[in-house]
């Protein structure tokens, strides 16, 4: 090999090594929408079937917040089932995440009923509710829209609501959002990327 070929080969190897280092240092791409830098959202307290629960009590864990209602026919159970499946794929590291379901239908969903509903999807899932004013305040705090629709002849009504899942980092800041319909493998991948931080 002549000197020119050796120099070219060395430059190619140097470029490949630099590319590898660059890609290693890049933050992982997320399936959800990352909030960078994470946004401070503040604390809140709502009621579970076992008593008051404050967001601040989960410092050190990732908190997955989902706002919905227990009579929801489709979006809410689908989302909570996807979260359950995603966490099951994490094994022991699932304990580093806390799923909290907050009912936006406090007229029908007592704290006890919200707790029972959430636990159907996972034994560690927490269900919360409160007075209308308390739920309104927390929904506003996180930018969650909801609206009760007119009841049908039997008195049953649905609730339109934001279907986005919110992920708070270990310090309680909003770090990531997942749109409705994200698949469990995509959620698990994002969870694993969060755990690398």
- The number of domains in the chain is 1
Show the tokens assigned to 16: 């490949």
Whether 187 maps to a domain, the answer reads yes
Q: Domain for residue 17, yes or no? A: no
Residue 131 has pLDDT above 70, yes or no: yes
Predicted TM-score of the model (pTM) = 0.86
Length of the chain: 197
Which residues are within 8 A (CB) of 162 and not within 5 positions of it... i.e. 6 or more apart?
A: 67, 143, 144, 145, 146
Q: Is residue 83 part of a domain?
A: yes
Residue 82 in domain: yes
Provide the 3-class DSSP secondary structure of residue 46: strand
Which CATH number does the domain housing residue 110 bear? Answer: 3.40.30.10
Give the pLDDT band (50/70/90) at residue 14. Answer: low
* Domain, as residue range, for 48: 30-195
Indicate whether 142 belongs to any domain. Answer: yes
| Residue at 1 is within a domain | no
Residue 168 lies in a domain: yes
- Residue 13 maps to a domain: no
pLDDT of residue 61: 97
User: Lowest-pLDDT range, 10-14, 58-62, 189-193?
Assistant: 10-14
Q: What is the Cα–Cα distance from 176 to 194, expressed in whole angstroms?
A: 9
């Amino acid at each position: 090999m002549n000197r020119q070929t050796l120099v070219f080969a060395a430059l190619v190897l140097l470029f490949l090594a630099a590319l590898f280092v660059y890609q290693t240092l890049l933050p992982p791409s997320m399936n959800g929408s990352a909030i960078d830098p994470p946004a401070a959202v503040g604390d809140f307290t709502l009621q579970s079937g076992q008593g008051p629960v404050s967001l601040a009590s989960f410092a050190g864990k990732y908190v997955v917040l989902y706002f919905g209602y227990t009579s929801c026919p489709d979006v809410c159970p689908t989302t909570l089932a996807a979260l359950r499946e995603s966490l099951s794929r994490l094994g022991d590291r699932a304990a580093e995440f806390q799923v909290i379901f907050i009912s936006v239908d406090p007229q029908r969903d007592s704290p006890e009923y919200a707790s029972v509903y959430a636990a159907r999807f996972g034994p560690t899932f927490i269900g919360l509710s409160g007075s209308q004013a308390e739920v309104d305040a927390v929904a506003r705090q996180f930018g969650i829209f909801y609206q009760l629709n007119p009841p049908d002849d039997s008195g049953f009504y649905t609730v339109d609501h934001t279907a986005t899942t919110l992920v708070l980092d270990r310090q309680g800041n909003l770090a990531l959002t997942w749109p409705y319909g994200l698949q469990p493998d995509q959620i698990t991948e994002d969870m694993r990327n969060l755990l690398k931080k």
